[in-house]
Amino acid sequence: MPSTRTANRPSKLLDGAVGVTTPRSVNEIFEVLRDAVVSQRLSPGVQLKEQPLASAFGVNRAAIRQVLAKLANCKLAVHRLNRGVFVASPSREEAVSIFHARRVVETAIIELAVERMDAHGLRELRTIIAQEQAGYLSGKLREASKLSVQFHRTLAQKAGNSVLEQFLEEIVARTPLVVLSFNVTDNLGCEGGEHAKIVDAIEARDAALAVRLLHEHLGHLENKLAFDEHLQPDELERAIFHSLGSAND
Amino acid sequence: MPSTRTANRPSKLLDGAVGVTTPRSVNEIFEVLRDAVVSQRLSPGVQLKEQPLASAFGVNRAAIRQVLAKLANCKLAVHRLNRGVFVASPSREEAVSIFHARRVVETAIIELAVERMDAHGLRELRTIIAQEQAGYLSGKLREASKLSVQFHRTLAQKAGNSVLEQFLEEIVARTPLVVLSFNVTDNLGCEGGEHAKIVDAIEARDAALAVRLLHEHLGHLENKLAFDEHLQPDELERAIFHSLGSAND
DNA sequence: CAACAAATTATTGTTGACGATTTTGTTAGG
DNA sequence: CCTAACAAAATCGTCAACAATAATTTGTTG
């Protein structure tokens, strides 16, 4: 039984996140963990223990504590008194709220993007789409999924409203938790050219079409989820299997 | 020059917030400080020093540190390296983003509220409106302003989408900072019965009317602000005048 | 063999102290 | 009189250790 005192290795959770250098700042650790959620490397219900995280990132527990406070503030984690913080397990109601809110926020973003998009932004978006498609074709689903998220993020950025951009970021970060809680088919985001069509509509300044395409796009994602079959009870099992810091191999 | 070591008094910032009992939990302190922002007891640019806050709330600096991390996460405060955290001073761009995002979010909330509002919710809203009007008539502007915020909060709650509710909460919390940064006329929220008309439209299930009334309502607030005259440079002056923990009387 | 109870372990919550960086106040020089 | 270098204070950033609570294991008993 290995003691958790000795600096346990960076714990595969961070494999695809950051190279080797240990980040120091609270914000960097926060973004790494949020990225771990977005990339589905952190599953709902997993406990985020302080000492293992501190060892993994090479910082003190106090710093981790601030990170966990921020994660809980974003609703990406829940804090149980004297028990620790756990990755959030969205309920069915939260899930539908998240998807509805996403329609609201991203619709507004699209409408702004149609007004303000410039040639540089269009190029940037199409570059991301190309990389995303290449990722799907080469079988790199993780990377492609991340690029899909990056597409929506960049779109929000080009809309030029920092508040809506932040809201979309929060929604996008919580969506993977919903997918992991309710999805059965593990392939998500593998739509054929829907992003490209949206960009075309934006370039044509056709707001109505762009919004319609977006709604169809989001609808496809929602339809992949099985809201009836709730695999919530598995929460604890997943938690112990993905338990951070118990890597004994 | 009094030393900040000795437990300085609860620092009038908390006068209207909580009775006497010192809250213990991080979340409670966070909400007290957020409420202080909403109530305009904390001005943009004010430094939130850790030791005075810890003394005021009767907790350790570590707890305050988590609170400040959450405040920074909500964009209610900014964190400067090795310099501390300060109450946010929204720029003009942030201000217009906040107002635009509010239109987007609260429009969606109104539409949901029209669908889902019940008799109990209507009573609750009208009770708040009555108290708000009474507050205005009796000259208690602070309390009335708080009730005005409470109206929008309750409306969001009755819409039944927790994500949109949280988004509106964040917007509402940041709005006072915008007002303090750009407003010249200090009377805000003293509209005559606009809230009541919105509730009437909701009761009549007239979504279009309710949305139109809401937009007019928000437009009145925006028109009160002088976005041209930027009193941003005063940041430092306000900071030193409202400096927390230097109460020497 | 199952169920209950006590002891052990592990994790969180809290506290205090130390070093680093920035800011402020002072002083010498132009 | 103003400017620049220097000294002092204050604040943040980091860390290690202690106390309290919950979970786990072990031992006992019906």
Question: Residue B48 CA to nucleotide C6 C1', Å?
Answer: 48
- pLDDT, one tens digit per residue, over A14-42 is 544 443 345 568 999 999 999 999 999 99
List the alpha helices (DSSP H) in A47-91: 50-57, 61-73
H or E stretch covering B85 = strand B84-87
Chain A residues within 8 Å of chain B (Cβ atoms)? 26, 62, 65-67, 69-70, 73-75, 93-94, 97-98, 100-101, 104-105, 108, 161-164, 166-167, 171
Nearest to B198 by CA among B184, B212, B181, B186: B212
pLDDT at residue B5 tops 80: no
Q: Cα dist. B175→A56, A60, B86, B104, B127 in Å?
A: 39, 35, 16, 15, 24
Are B81 and B191 contained in the same domain?
A: no
Nucleotides of D under 7 A from a protein CB: 10-17, 21-23
CATH of the domain at A198: 1.20.120.530
Are A80 and A112 contained in the same domain?
A: no
Range with the poorest average pLDDT among A23-27, A123-127, B87-91, B239-243: B239-243
Please state the length of chain B. Answer: 249
Which of B19-28, B151-160, B219-228 shows the highest mean pLDDT? B151-160
Are A71 and A102 contained in the same domain?
A: no
Please state the length of chain A. Answer: 249
pLDDT class of A244 with cuts at 50, 70, 90: very low
Are A42 and A107 contained in the same domain?
A: no
pLDDT at residue A99 tops 50: yes
In a domain, B21, yes or no: yes
- Between A238 and A49, the more confident residue is A49
Sign of CA dihedral A183, A184, A187, A190: negative
In a domain, A2, yes or no: no
Mutation site, B81, B106, B110, B167, interface A, largest A CB count within 10 A: B167
What residues pair up with A87 in beta bridges, in sequence order?
A77
Q: What is the pLDDT of residue B146?
A: 92
Q: What is the pLDDT of residue B28?
A: 95
Mutation site, A104, A106, A109, interface B, largest B CB count within 10 A: A104
pLDDT at residue A139 tops 50: yes
CA atoms within 13 A on the CB side of A86: 18
Q: Residue A202 CB: number of other CB atoms within 10 A?
A: 26
Give me the long-range contacts of B120-129 (CB less than 8 A, separation at least 24): B121/B154, B121/B158, B122/B199, B122/B202, B122/B203, B124/B154, B124/B158, B125/B151, B125/B154, B125/B155, B125/B158, B125/B195, B125/B199, B126/B196, B126/B199, B128/B154, B129/B195, B129/B196, B129/B199
Structural domain count of chain B: 2
What residues pair up with A79 in beta bridges, in sequence order?
A85
Task: For residue A136, give its domain range.
Answer: 92-223
Are A183 and A237 contained in the same domain?
A: no
User: What does the alpha-carbon distance between residue B220 and residue B112 come to, in Å, rounded to a whole number?
Assistant: 23
Q: What is the pLDDT of residue B225?
A: 80
Are B85 and B16 contained in the same domain?
A: yes
User: What does the alpha-carbon distance between residue B48 and residue A157 come to, in Å, rounded to a whole number?
Assistant: 30
Instruction: Write the DSSP symbol of residue A22.
Output: P
In a domain, B187, yes or no: yes
Are B34 and B150 contained in the same domain?
A: no
- Between A75 and B190, the more confident residue is A75
- Between A219 and A232, the more confident residue is A219
Are B85 and B178 contained in the same domain?
A: no
Are A84 and A23 contained in the same domain?
A: yes
Are A176 and A104 contained in the same domain?
A: yes
Cα torsion through A203, A205, A207, A212, rounded to 10 = -40
Say whether the CB atom of B83 is under 7 angstroms from strand D.
yes
Question: Residue A63 CA to nucleotide D13 C1', Å?
Answer: 10
Are B108 and B39 contained in the same domain?
A: no
pLDDT class of B182 with cuts at 50, 70, 90: confident
Are A64 and A147 contained in the same domain?
A: no
CATH of the domain at B63: 1.10.10.10
